[in-house]
């Protein structure tokens, strides 16, 4: 039997669902005295791993597969280094137009921005859409002007697990996370080098791989 290590909140959610099923996320949040947003990552993990079943317009139900989910145990062991892929990267002085072209050429949801080889920011498709719909000349404006700057970017490292990466993607509602290596300069400043990315697609491919048994 596979023993799953659940968080205290996840165990509370399961017990509430067992006693009140079907139960909506609104009711669960109310009973736990938290917001629906706070519950979203836990509910996503519990449904993806088969512990709970989500039915549209009905609510959550407990699945008989429950604590024997091998997938849950496995994704707690898979490291980011095993699933990361090549990121789409531009420098801060790249024009917004050229960055948009690269975004679509690489079929990416997010472009990561560097300065002297170090990660300094990120720009999503939504960011590009906002500036493209305005009166800004995207052929002249550098991407560094519109990017979200560090430290306001959620990151992961090679040693983080696929579970942790998936949870961060859900919690922060982002398309992908940069995988970084951190070094510290002599004056104590953190320098981040981007070595890859983990996206919703990476996580989905992992689940498909597990489902196919390969």
Closest CA to 198 of 152, 143, 157: 157
Asked whether residue 185 carries a pLDDT value surpassing 80, the answer given is no
Asked whether residue 134 carries a pLDDT value surpassing 90, the answer given is no
- The per-residue pLDDT for 212 is 57
Domain boundaries, the chain: 8-75, 80-208
CA angle 165, 183, 77 (to 5 degrees): 30
Asked whether residue 206 carries a pLDDT value surpassing 90, the answer given is no
User: What are 1-16's pLDDT values in tens digits?
Assistant: 344 567 888 889 999 9
Asked whether residue 72 carries a pLDDT value surpassing 80, the answer given is no
User: What are 101-127's pLDDT values in tens digits?
Assistant: 999 999 999 999 999 889 999 999 999
Closest CA to 165 of 204, 132, 137: 204
DSSP 3-state of 79: strand
What's the fold here for domain 8-75?
Arc Repressor Mutant, subunit A (1.10.10)
- The per-residue pLDDT for 45 is 80
CB half-sphere exposure, 176, CA atoms < 13 A: 30
Asked whether residue 203 carries a pLDDT value surpassing 60, the answer given is yes
Query: What element of type H or E holds 53?
Result: strand 52-55
Rounded CA-CA distance 14/38 in Å is 16
Output the CA torsion 103→107→109→115 (10° steps): -40
Q: Give the mean pLDDT of 10-39.
A: 91
Please count the other Cβ atoms lying within 10 Å of the Cβ belonging to residue 135.
5
Contact present, 154 and 177 (Cβ < 8 Å): yes
Contact present, 84 and 197 (Cβ < 8 Å): yes
- For the question of whether the overall pTM of this predicted structure is more than 0.75, the answer is no
- The per-residue pLDDT for 189 is 79
CB half-sphere exposure, 100, CA atoms < 13 A: 17
What's the fold here for domain 80-208?
CBS-domain (3.10.580)
Asked whether residue 80 carries a pLDDT value surpassing 70, the answer given is yes
- The per-residue pLDDT for 4 is 52
Supply the mean pLDDT for the chain. Answer: 87
Rounded CA-CA distance 78/23 in Å is 32
Residue scoring higher pLDDT (70 or 126):
126
Q: For the chain, how many residues are written?
A: 214
Rounded CA-CA distance 76/74 in Å is 5
- The per-residue pLDDT for 89 is 97
DSSP 166: H
């Amino acid at each position: 039997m596979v023993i799953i290590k659940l968080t205290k909140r996840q165990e509370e959610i399961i017990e509430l669902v067992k006693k009140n099923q079907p139960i909506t996320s609104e009711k669960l949040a109310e009973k736990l005295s938290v917001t629906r947003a706070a519950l979203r990552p836990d509910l996503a993990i519990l449904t993806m791993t088969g512990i709970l079943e989500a039915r549209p317009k009905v609510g959550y139900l407990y699945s008989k597969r429950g604590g024997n989910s091998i997938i849950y145990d496995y994704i707690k062991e898979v490291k980011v280094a095993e699933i990361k892929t090549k990121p789409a990267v531009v420098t801060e002085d790249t024009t917004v137009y050229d960055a948009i072209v690269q975004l679509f050429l690489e079929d990416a949801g997010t472009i990561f921005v560097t300065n002297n080889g170090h990660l300094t920011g990120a720009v999503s498709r939504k960011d590009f859409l906002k500036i493209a719909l305005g009166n800004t000349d995207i052929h002249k404006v550098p991407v560094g002007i519109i990017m979200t700057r560090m430290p306001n970017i959620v990151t992961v490292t090679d040693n983080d697990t696929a579970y942790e990466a998936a949870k961060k993607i859900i919690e922060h509602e982002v398309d992908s996370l940069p995988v970084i290596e951190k070094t510290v300069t002599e004056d104590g400043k953190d320098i981040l080098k981007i070595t890859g990315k983990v996206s919703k697609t990476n996580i989905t491919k992992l689940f498909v791989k597990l489902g196919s048994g390969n």
